[in-house]
Amino acid sequence: MAWLRALLRPSSAPARTMRLDASHARQVAVLHHLGGFARGWEPAECAALIADAAVVTDGVFCGRRNEPLGFVMSRKAADEAEVLSIVIAPGHRGDGLGAVLLAAHLARLGEEGARHVFLEVEENNEPAERLYRHFDFREVGRRKGYYPKADGSRATAIAMRLDLA
């Protein structure tokens, strides 16, 4: 569990990104659980998604760390991609890692032929909305009651789109 304690400890080292592989599945699952989602992903689910040829998964790392401090995962179909999840470890939110990670991921998606990227964000998740709008994602719709909450209520999802080309 030393890697988990290190994951939660802030770091000021420069960030780097790289594509994740199945060896990162456990860390991706932990990060997803820390993301505050109603249902976290299990390591086997993460491994299956990472292994899927239609899924692109990138991580962000600081210094010499081998464990990602965050990840983003998207599924590609034709010239479109959908961001399935993006999470930064709680102790590193607000450090700019999300912007570094998303910039690298969008560049990779573009290199792999994606022209349009879609995502959904929970209404009132202001830090995430601010990040997406920084990259010029625009709102294209809303899904009321889309996200289940831990208290049994449901939250609205804001559907967003970015045109890469």
Q: Where are the domains of the chain?
A: 14-163
Give the model confidence (pLDDT) of 81-138 as tens digits: 999 999 999 999 988 999 999 999 999 999 999 999 999 999 999 999 999 999 999 9
**Cβ atoms of residues 120 and 97 within 8 Å:** no
Which tokens sit at 103?
Answer: 């910039």
Model confidence at 14: pLDDT above 90: no
Q: How confident is the model at residue 2, as a pLDDT?
A: 42
What is the identity of the amino acid at 151? D
Model confidence at 35: pLDDT above 90: no
Dist. CA 121–CA 27, nearest whole Å = 22
Q: How confident is the model at residue 158, as a pLDDT?
A: 98
Give the model confidence (pLDDT) of 53-80 as tens digits: 999 999 999 988 889 999 999 999 999 9
Q: How confident is the model at residue 11, as a pLDDT?
A: 47
Q: How confident is the model at residue 13, as a pLDDT?
A: 56
Q: Which residue has the tokens 């594509």?
A: 19
Phi-psi region of 145 (alpha: psi -120 to 50; beta: other; left: phi over 0): left
What is the identity of the amino acid at 120? E
Domain 14-163 fold is Aminopeptidase (3.40.630)
Model confidence at 31: pLDDT above 90: yes
